[in-house]
Amino acid sequence: MPATDLADLLDRAALNDTVAFAAFYDLTVADAYRLAQLSVDPARVDDLVHDAYLNAWLDSASYALTGFSARAWLMILVQLNVSPEPVGGGHVFAT
């Protein structure tokens, strides 16, 4: 789907259009899950994606001000909920 169509869905969601937001979800959820699976422990994936879409719904009115494509904006929301701890609880050593 073209990015402009996703942006239109978010614009409509900002007006409390739940059907538009459901369509946005359906068209982007696979990407959100793929990114979440790369970013967090598998037990946290569902919560991470849930939080990203909740934030997308709540902040859809401000999406257009970001300058990002709708898909990129959603991926940023996914990443914002990732803790700084690496997947699996490993340690990061500064060099």
Greater model confidence, 1 or 40 = 40
> What are the pLDDT digits (tens) for 27-85?
999 999 999 999 888 999 999 999 999 999 999 999 989 999 999 999 999 999 886 55
Say what the pLDDT of residue 82 is: 83
- Max CA pair span of the chain: 49
Of the ranges 13-17, 31-35, 85-89, which one carries the lowest mean pLDDT score? 85-89
CB-based contact 9:53 (threshold 8 Å): no
pTM for the full model? 0.82
Cα–Cα dist 18/15, whole Å = 9
